Amino acid sequence: MTLPQETIRAKRDGREIDPTEIAAFVAGLMDGRVTEGQAAAFAMAVFFQKLSLPERVALTEALMRSGTVLEWDLPGPVLDKHSTGGVGDAVSLALAPMVAACGGYVPMITGRGLGHTGGTLDKLASIPGYDVRPDLDRFRRVTTEVGCCVIGQTPDLAPADARLYAIRDVTGTVESLDLITASILSKKLAAGLGGLVMDVKVGSGAFMETLDAARGLGEAIVGVAGGAGLNTVALVTDMDSPLASAAGNALEVAYTLDYLAGRAREPAFHAITLELGAEMLVLGGLAANLPAARERLTAALDSGRAREVFSRMVTALGGPADLADHPERHLARAEIVRSVTVSESGYVGRVSTRAIGLAVISLGGGRTRPQDSIDPAVGFTGLARAGDAVGPDRPLGVIHARDAAAADAAEAALRAAYTIGPAPGGANASLRDRIA
């Protein structure tokens, strides 16, 4: 085995590392032959010197093989979607049951909130009784019987990635495109997927704020996934406004239930959900083309099949059987609900979407430290998007807070996040690019 310090030295000096060296380094991270300091040095070397495509593939596959790699024997394709994170991004909660209702199988492994972005895992944890980290047997069973199972990462799948990520988190290397790509795809490959659709967010509420950066990440993921044998499409989607009008954990679950039931179909959220789902169906051979796939997904929504699948998944993972019919009985609610209006009518211009995400955290709906607990009840509903009319009778949003002081701070943050003008401006298209 090449000594860890020699692998680090090679990458520090900009030399290409052999796949066997990368595999040995990752194995050493698991068995203790590679120290945390060496892993940190490797991550920093990669951050500055970058990885070639073969190196990216080798690192991704080594992280994947550090734990269990699932294999499926199912009558339909195994598909998934992953988002780089945003504000009001509840798409996964709706999309997994929609695709399952169309004949796909979706074993979706999600994460906690990161920075200002909300995490699907935290949203699911706001459902009483829902087991967000079942063992692999239960994960397999629910996926097979229901068609979808949305959970958090288990210790069995890509454990070396979890170790490397914890080191990156405290060494200033989280933003490395190479390491982001390997981290995302190692977990997806370990889940035994047949097709993946990446949702790369771009804008004021995304980690990638420019279209060039978002395209770069999308191209990296598609390239590495292809090199590892996973058919993948990446969509670059807008995050210059909150995607859903709700931001906060239980509030986004309630929003999803309204969406699945047809009580609310906001255009931007609906469009992105359909586009991502349509790509999944085409990748899995469940539809001949994107228009046909959109029709199938719409039928799954309108018939109630997607809502039924969601309810079955919740029940199978320990949640309440009547959540879809009576969310008010089960989802936490805040004591203070306050609308935030402006005195003069106008139109939303720019939105600092990141600031809205940070305001959710300040309310208690996210973490400032890894060990922090989350209040599922707090956040915002009715959030305005760029181009929306606002005024005395059309609020910027509605605050859900535990006390008056928290509500006051959230109101100040929400007002500061919006720029209002006298005339409607042009909002960005929801779908900004497609990479395949």
Contact 283, 231 (CB under 8 A): yes
Is 82 known to be catalytic?
Answer: yes
Query: Of 116, 123, 163, 188, which residue is the catalytic one?
Result: 188
Per-residue buried b or exposed e for 269-301, using 16+ beta carbons within 10 Å of the residue's own CB: bbbbbbbbbbbbbbbbebbeeeeebbebbbebb
Query: Of 116, 123, 187, 215, which residue is the catalytic one?
Result: 187
The β-bridge relationship of strands 418-421 and 346-351 is antiparallel
d(CA 26, CA 160) in angstroms, rounded, equals 7
Query: Of 81, 112, 116, 296, which residue is the catalytic one?
Result: 81
Contact 182, 63 (CB under 8 A): yes
Is 183 known to be catalytic?
Answer: yes
Query: Of 82, 116, 354, 400, which residue is the catalytic one?
Result: 82
Is 80 known to be catalytic?
Answer: yes
Phi, psi of 348 (to 5 degrees): -70, 125
Query: Of 11, 56, 112, 168, which residue is the catalytic one?
Result: 168
d(CA 143, CA 133) in angstroms, rounded, equals 14
Query: Of 7, 56, 60, 80, which residue is the catalytic one?
Result: 80
Contact 129, 319 (CB under 8 A): yes
Query: Of 83, 143, 256, 353, which residue is the catalytic one?
Result: 83
Tokens read off for 236: 């670059």
d(CA 131, CA 154) in angstroms, rounded, equals 12
Query: Of 126, 154, 176, 183, which residue is the catalytic one?
Result: 183
d(CA 348, CA 295) in angstroms, rounded, equals 32
**Residue 377, number of CB atoms within 10 A of its CB:** 21
CA nearest neighbour of 223 among 69, 81, 60, 85: 60
Tokens read off for 323: 């959540």
Tokens read off for 10: 């090679």
Its sign, for the CA torsion 121, 125, 127, 132, is positive
Is 110 known to be catalytic?
Answer: no
Tokens read off for 255: 């929003």
Its sign, for the CA torsion 413, 87, 161, 144, is positive
Q: Which sequence positions are flagged as catalytic?
A: 80-83, 120, 168, 183, 187-188
